[in-house]
Structure 1
């Protein structure tokens, strides 16, 4: 993965974490609401995984947000 893609993944990871914290959710709670494993949420937030589209859809469902809200127009 090139540096530009690593930066984009870090921005996405930070956005997921920020949205989760704004909702007052733990990683475990978000995982439950998203039908994902808690360890996977942690790996996403640490940029250890590159989530698929369907995983992002699940996370948005868990956060009760629209998919577009995960992406910053400045990316």
Structure 2
């Protein structure tokens, strides 16, 4: 998606995922969100600074999110 000039859409999707994720979500929802983020990042030739800022900002706000992220995403 990043290769298709959908940068703003991807940034918004990541921001939304990080802002709505809660411990009480079903595991399937959390897994789906993680899978989407991992696939988008792995399939991208490069990751723009603004997307990195979205990810790092979410980690800075809520350090417990870091513990839930799979190693593939980090």
What is the TM-score of this pair, normalised by structure 2? 0.36
What is the TM-score of this pair, normalised by structure 1? 0.36
